[in-house]
Amino acid sequence: MSDEDRLNYEANTSDAINILPVLQKGLDVNVKFTGVRDFEYTKEILPFDLLNISLYHGWLVDPQSEESKVIGDLSYNALVEKVISQSAYLGKHFLEASASQLTYHGLCELTAALEEGEIGVFFRNNHFSTLTKAKGRLYLLVTDQGFLKEASVVWETLDSVDGDITFVDEGFKIVSHSPEQQSSQYPPTSSPGAQSNQQIEQ
């Protein structure tokens, strides 16, 4: 390692350590709508890089859509600024139609990007969740306190943008649960987009 690389590594490590106390309250990361691993590179991303942890999101714009021409390579913060300053209708429509911060195109890209058995971190609605892929399907680790006494409930499916989920055990086998029980990791967000009713076909 050269002296320059060593200094950069030490600086990044120091910045990452300074961020650790903030983890309890959450990190402010800025997604880009072009890829499931596209984020604006900020200090908040450093812990993931240094620990070699893959960070994903599913808030993607369909490259074939009209909105993509307006959004381009903009980050979320940059798009909001553009919508406010230029009254960009297509950009505003995309943000409103995908208010759940997950799109059908994003789900498809996530499924394709993750390797079988890979463990990563999924970012959505300012929440970070453990993400994995098993038998071709995406799953999020269940962390809701309502399931503390439900030892058989370990993972929930991630294959719908409208919140429809199935709970599975550690072997990814479907488990039954009471009707009143549901994961609150991502509270349902109403979205006018037609894509909200679409699911990835397995």
Radius of gyration of the chain measured on its C-alpha atoms: 18
Which residues are 160's β-sheet partners? 199
- CB atoms closer than 10 angstroms to residue 193: 18
The pLDDT of residue 143 is above 60: yes
Using one digit for the tens of pLDDT, what is the confidence trace for 50-98?
889 999 999 999 999 999 999 999 999 999 999 998 878 999 999 999 9
22-57 pLDDT, tens digit per residue, is: 877 788 899 999 999 999 998 899 889 888 999 999
Domain boundaries, the chain: 3-174
Residue 1 has pLDDT above 90, yes or no: no
Q: What is the mean pLDDT of the chain?
A: 86
* Residue showing tokens 């058989």: 152
pTM: 0.82
- 99, burial (CB in 10 Å: exposed 0-12, middle 13-18, buried 19+): middle
Distance, in Å, from the CA atom of 23 to the CA atom of 197, rounded to the nearest integer, reads: 34
Cα dihedral sign, 105-106-108-113: positive
Closest CA relative to residue 140, chosen from 104, 196, 184? 184
